[in-house]
Amino acid sequence: MTPPTTDLLLSGGDVLLHEGQWRVARADVEVREGRIWAVRGSGGRADGEQRPLTVRDCSGCLVMPGLIQAHVHLCQTLFRGLADDLPLEAWLARRIWPLESAHTDESVYWSAMLGAAELLLGGTTAILDMETVRHTGAAFAALERIGIRATAGKCLMDAHPEGAPLDLAESTDGALAEAQQLAERWHGAANGRLRYCFAPRFAPACSGPLLRAASDLAERFGAQLHTHAAETIVERQTVARSTGLGEIAYLESVGITGPRAVLAHCVWVDAEEIARLAAQQTNLVHCPSSNLKLGSGIARVPEMLEAGCGVALGADGAPCNNRLDVFAEMRLAALIQKPRLGAEALPAGEVLEVATLGGADALGLGDELGSIAVGKRADLVVLDLRGPHLVPASGDVVSHLVYAAQPSDVRDVFVDGRPVVLGGELLTASLDEIVREAERRATELRGRVGMG
């Protein structure tokens, strides 16, 4: 059988390479069977013995690795603008949990399509996603159709923090049984583009046995563990009160630790916990917009990187951001450290590593994603450098990416070498249909919770 024709030559662009540090070279990127086959100096010819390539002219553009967001909630995209100006605990209890409870298969499907469309059009090629408690199969169906690389999981909750709706929390065994069925169906689907993660919401909403069993299942399936940790001071105090341990020590005691574990936020961790997370090789995900908007605090990312922690980046969900714009997250990640530590803190090159290589490690795909290197999967973005806010393009392109670029600069997006966005147009689904259906499902959903 002939493999799908994703063979491609991205010619004449500036190519962003990572060899210890970022470097830009004028080169052609050759893609075969979904992987990066060669990076050649411009003017080099593709191997004539091979099948013909589709040639895409990239002059005036930057060919760069797809950006990775290692903490998003696509199920919340329909909640955009419905939960502003609240701290985390009220945001969850008064808005997010009632809205998640009111989801149907259809609303979860279109919420995922809407979020994934925004992500792909804005240059994000891979995500780690936490869905809600129910309807996760519908989210996977959307992810399969739209063509983004995604590791997603059903949200696990079996205990009720004060104010949480009883109908979201499940029995421990029931939650785990459904998670296992979803992993059997989706982990490795779509030629490995889709993967499953076990996703306990956060320690206050989960029993110890649920957390331990999620860790065991992740090990068994070779899957990631995706949760929130140390997001607010209230969360930290709640965990200390109920377990007698610091939050990171508690998570370690139930197996949420090590390279499989991905902890979103970690705003409220001390120096000893940062050292412990680094030694464990636990992945951390920085979500600067979300942390600022919910008033949670500022994660000590430079200290985490200095200690050797793996750090990735994420927009979190639409109701706490309210965009899923990785360029905004990169810019903010750099800016918010500077008043605290000085203007030298977290330079652009480090932020870009967090949004590429750090994300790849958080997905457990460090050998497959995160940079343009021969043999890696061809998850690539072609960025148009000709917008006035990116001139002079002869300057520092890494600086442009972090401080100046925006989603509308994204021209083409490839996942596994397959074009999903060309010339700023989504190819895998109709954007008009996504917007229309998302609007309709959001109106119905608000009606069901009396926020009409």
Binding site for Zn ion (CB under 5 A): 316
3-class state of residue 415 by DSSP: strand
Q: Which two tokens stand for residue 76?
A: 């919340």
Q: What's the DSSP call for residue 93?
A: I
Q: Which two tokens stand for residue 119?
A: 């992500």
- For Zn ion, the closer of residues 60 and 163 by Cβ is 163
Question: Cβ contacts of residue 221 below 8 Å, gap of 6+?
Answer: 183, 187, 196, 198
3-class state of residue 314 by DSSP: coil
3-class state of residue 129 by DSSP: strand
> Which residue from 156, 164, 157, 169 is spatially nearest to 95, judged by alpha carbons?
164
> Which residue from 306, 217, 296, 224 is spatially nearest to 262, judged by alpha carbons?
224
What is the smallest separation between the CB atom of 285 and Zn ion, expressed in angstroms?
9
Contact by Cβ (8 Å): 297, 104: no
Q: What's the DSSP call for residue 423?
A: T
Closest residue to Zn ion, judged by C-beta, is 316
Distance CA 452, CA 445 (A): 8
- Segment (H or E) for 227: strand 224-229
- For Zn ion, the closer of residues 262 and 442 by Cβ is 262
- For Zn ion, the closer of residues 63 and 301 by Cβ is 301
What is the smallest separation between the CB atom of 74 and Zn ion, expressed in angstroms?
11
- For Zn ion, the closer of residues 232 and 356 by Cβ is 232
Alpha-carbon torsion (173, 179, 180, 182), positive or negative: positive
What is the smallest separation between the CB atom of 207 and Zn ion, expressed in angstroms?
20
What is the smallest separation between the CB atom of 451 and Zn ion, expressed in angstroms?
21
- For Zn ion, the closer of residues 131 and 316 by Cβ is 316
- For Zn ion, the closer of residues 316 and 325 by Cβ is 316
What is the smallest separation between the CB atom of 227 and Zn ion, expressed in angstroms?
9
3-class state of residue 85 by DSSP: coil
What is the smallest separation between the CB atom of 101 and Zn ion, expressed in angstroms?
17
At residue 264, what is the residue type? A
Q: Enumerate the H helices of 161-270 as residue ranges.
A: 172-186, 208-221, 233-243, 247-253
Q: Which residues sit opposite 130 in a β-bridge?
A: 153
- For Zn ion, the closer of residues 89 and 316 by Cβ is 316
What is the smallest separation between the CB atom of 320 and Zn ion, expressed in angstroms?
7
- For Zn ion, the closer of residues 8 and 363 by Cβ is 363
What is the smallest separation between the CB atom of 443 and Zn ion, expressed in angstroms?
24
